[in-house]
Amino acid sequence: MARKTKEEALETREKILDAAIDIFFENGVSASSLNEIALRAGVTRGAVYWHFKNKRDIFDALHERLFKSFMDMLSPRLDHIDADPLAQLRGLQTDLMREVHGNPMKKRALSVFLLKCDYSGDMKDFLIEQEKSKFKSFQIFADYVRRVQEQKLMPAHFPPEVIARMYHCFFSGLLYEYLRFPGTIDFDTHVLPSINAFFSRMA
Amino acid sequence: MARKTKEEALETREKILDAAIDIFFENGVSASSLNEIALRAGVTRGAVYWHFKNKRDIFDALHERLFKSFMDMLSPRLDHIDADPLAQLRGLQTDLMREVHGNPMKKRALSVFLLKCDYSGDMKDFLIEQEKSKFKSFQIFADYVRRVQEQKLMPAHFPPEVIARMYHCFFSGLLYEYLRFPGTIDFDTHVLPSINAFFSRMA
DNA sequence: ATATATACATACACGAATGTTTGTATTCTT
DNA sequence: AAGAATACAAACATTCGTGTATGTATATAT
């Protein structure tokens, strides 16, 4: 085949990434071959190896693309404190879940990172990276809780880190459950009410 | 080599399963070869194929061995209602986490099932099985909540399933966090306090 | 306009894992 | 005590994925 223009090359790169999400989601990361990804994207392995070093490299690119968008959503919504902090937190979590629920591509990508890969072998050091970024988002939330407690808008029976940990566990647990059993747990009748229950008990 | 007695054969079977947990934990399920497992167990692939049909068969056997012990722990502790249900629930969750924390073999096995495998390909129908057993334990808890609400020992602002879902998400989320980042999240200073915080907010 | 770098497709070589088959020393059966 | 079944080890064949090397048509630089 012939050489493409730079824009076209970028398009095929994106095509490969999109195909990778699908294939990873269907087969699991380690069981997915680069050939499958290439075929799904409508190219050959040559194109894949041109744009990416190996499977791990594709994985990194996907992570970059996904977590950026989430951090962009998280940070600006916790840099200030609303009149009702609990409502603010509930709103944030609701919107995050709604974002996942409404965006099939993001949903599949998240599934890949949380359920469709075992972080071992090549991926071991990737887990360390992920730990760092998770720690970052955790710190953002712990800081928020600390400020809220300082302003006496929340009882300070527990240190901010503990509250943050509790919140974080509930949220990630909810996410896991929702992604793991897509048929069983409905968004409107299960996910949203359980968020409301969680926050109504924290008042 | 020579034929072993029946007891010896059972021993090698157990040896293979133990080795499988280790290898699965280190490399992830799909990246683990049957040869590695055999070598770790001190046998050859011949022995593995004698006792098990394939890798999936080993996986099933491990699941059988693990989840039985957890269900045995769960059921009898929720078939009655203590004077203080919240304390009862907190105690159950604490003990379950303590069990995981104190038993390295169980801890590694749980890690394998929750983090070290992607349920796709051969494993897809396995996920369905897991969903069933998870639904079972969920029902046990929802029933418990319902009975507690009927006895007016807990406010009934939310249906039992919602409360159960919330509890379940928090617990599994905590478990995931604890297993995923073994170095970061300490048992005494992070896990236990966050359980206490969770239940103190539910009063 | 020509040279060169680009964006792939195609072909090749290699290792690794799987499932199966065969061999064999014992143990169990009768 | 002798045949049959058992509990493996060892060898084989086959498939599959990876990485790399090569070919090539075209965009881009000069």
Tens digit of each residue's pLDDT (9 = 90 or more) over B69-127: 888 888 899 999 999 999 999 999 999 999 999 999 999 999 999 999 988 877 888 88
Arithmetic mean of pLDDT over chain A: 91
Q: Which of B25, B145, B194 to mutate to test the interface with A (most CBs of A within 10 A)?
A: B194
Please, are residues A88 and A5 in contact by the beta-carbon 8 Å criterion? no
Task: For residue B111, give the chain A residue with the closest CA.
Answer: A118
**By 3-state DSSP, what share of chain A in percent is helix, strand and coil, each rounded to 5?**
75, 0, 25
Distance (Å, rounded) from C-alpha A163 to C-alpha A167? 6
Q: By the CB < 8 Å criterion, does B193 face chain A?
A: yes
Distance (Å, rounded) from C-alpha B116 to C-alpha B30? 9
* Distance between the alpha carbon (CA) of A42 and the C1' atom of C7, Å: 14
Task: For residue A157, give the chain B residue with the closest CA.
Answer: B197
**CB count in 10 Å sphere of residue B157:** 12
Please, are residues B93 and B23 in contact by the beta-carbon 8 Å criterion? no
CB contact under 8 A, A194 and B165: yes
Low-confidence residues of chain A: pLDDT under 70: 1-2, 202-203
Banded model confidence at residue B200, pLDDT cuts 50, 70, 90: confident
Q: Which of A119-128, B59-68, B155-164 has the lowest mean pLDDT?
A: A119-128
* Distance between the alpha carbon (CA) of B5 and the C1' atom of D5, Å: 13
Q: What is the mean pLDDT of the segment spanning B164-174?
A: 95
Asked if residue B7 has pLDDT above 70, the reply is yes
* Distance between the alpha carbon (CA) of B22 and the C1' atom of D19, Å: 30
CB contact under 8 A, A168 and B173: yes
pLDDT of res. B130: 82
DSSP states of A77-113 as a string?
A: GSSS--SSHHHHHHHHHHHHHHHHHH-HHHHHHHHHH
Please, are residues B58 and B37 in contact by the beta-carbon 8 Å criterion? yes
Q: Which residue has the tokens 């087969």?
A: A27
Q: Which residue has the tokens 């071992």?
A: A120
Question: Please, which residues 128-187 of chain A have a Cβ atom closer than 8 Å to chain B?
Answer: 131, 134-135, 157-159, 161-163, 165-166, 168-174, 176-177, 180-181, 184-185
Distance (Å, rounded) from C-alpha B70 to C-alpha B77? 11
Asked if residue B2 has pLDDT above 70, the reply is no
Chain B residues whose CB is inside 8 A of the A31 CB are 30, 118, 120-121
Banded model confidence at residue B202, pLDDT cuts 50, 70, 90: low
B4: Cβ under 7 Å from strand D?
A: yes
Distance (Å, rounded) from C-alpha B105 to C-alpha B160? 34
Task: For residue B72, give the amino acid letter.
Answer: D
pLDDT of res. A12: 97
Rounded to two decimals, the pTM is 0.91
Task: State pLDDT tens for residues B8-46.
Answer: 899 999 999 999 999 999 999 999 999 999 999 999 999
Hey, what are A53's tokens?
Answer: 């070093």
